Amino acid sequence: MSKAQQRLSQVQSHLASSEADIPCGRENILKKSADDVVVTCALRTPITRGGKGGFKDTAAPDLLAHTFKSLLSRSRIDPTLVQDIAVGNVLAPGAGATEFRAAALLAGFPETTALKSLNRQCSSGLQACVDIANAIRGGMIDVGVGAGVESMSSQYGPGAVSEFSELLEGHEEARNCKVPMGVLSEKMAEERGVGRDLQDAFAARSFQKAERAQRDGKFEEEIAAMRVKWVDPKTEEVKEVLVDRDDGVRKGMTVEGLGKIKPAFKEGGSIHAGNASQVSDGAAAVLLMKRSTAERLGQKIVGKFMGSSVVGVKPLLMGIGPWKAIPVALEKAGIGKEDVDVWEINEAFASQCVWCIKELGLDESKVNPNGGAIAFGHPLGCTGARQVSTLFNELGRTGKKVGVTSMCVGTGMGMAAVWVKE
């Protein structure tokens, strides 16, 4: 064998060894490291019906301020140690940057705690958590908060989307970005063969699971109840009420009952108010830092952030986002779908959830075990952060370890993240 061949053989041997040494699998992600980015507190407000529920008269910054106060109180973190906050929001002008900074100051964070707001549509709350996690991992900050908030009661409607310019209107794929999600989801359901019977059955199960979970008190640990002023629509009397539970969960929902609801987007269509996510209000927040920091501060570790993915898909196929994003997130974490104990996949529409679960080959019993957005709502900017508290709550209660959060994203994207319970 020539020297060149020997050298090539050595290089190939080194490469093979390096590939074999790459840590992967469930056993590896359960290991602990001082550099792990961990969650020490995750909570949310109740989620209430847009325009009708407990938060219909409460502004988004007020929801956020309460959530921040609850996070500080429950975690007992010194607010002066929190260096940055990221808040996901979709509907507020400028994503609420000014009023959310004000909400943080009101909640007790000092002027030294920075804040940004961001908008990546339905994944905004998750993107906020990921941005903070990556800032910690990269050494930019030591302690931060990822959060999300939405008041769809006050800001949802036609005004939330600006008119397209002539230039954008002249490009077909660009123009598709403004097609209403219900319309494109109806089209996707038709093309991908997801009939109304499958959608209604999935939606009924979501309502039934959420009803059982609420009855059994499964959401209580993650919820920070809030006392607010509420205007009685019948008498216009202003009342002070305690909002301490998700009020969109409908009791006794069945496939037969859902079958009586008229289609919302097309004559003879399959998508309606009962098998799509509810218009809702709510807020959520997640406290993150390195494991070494948490141990030094005496913070109880809830779990850790492993990694995330964000992908693009065709705007008209927005709903398939989780199908494309989840495998990427799993690969980055070095695990397979068989290693995941609980999936929290946002139920934007039953049609896209049913399709994604089938195409990914997931065990549906592991998906949204306590119901999802169809049953209790989807406050757009809040959901991604809300899923983190719901996921860790479920993993802790059942003694399980590995979870994934994911969602489809308006204009054609998908996002996912992998989390491990301590």
The residues annotated as belonging to the active site are 122, 378, 408
Distance CA 138, CA 309 (A): 17
Q: Is 162 helix (H, G, I), strand (E, B) or coil?
A: coil
Distance CA 145, CA 130 (A): 10
Of 306, 31, 32, 292, the closest CA to residue 142 belongs to: 292
Distances (CA, A) of 181 to 139, 187, 302, 406, 410: 38, 10, 35, 17, 7
| Beta pairing, strands 84-88 & 143-151 | parallel
Q: Which two tokens stand for residue 386?
A: 């809300």
Q: Exposure string (b/e) for 12-29, b if CB count within 10 Å is 16 or more?
A: eeeeeeeeeeeeeebeeb
Contact 305, 384 (CB under 8 A): no
Find how far residue 113's CA is from the centre of its chain: 24
Q: Which amino acid is at 35?
A: D
Secondary element (H or E) of residue 310 = strand 303-312
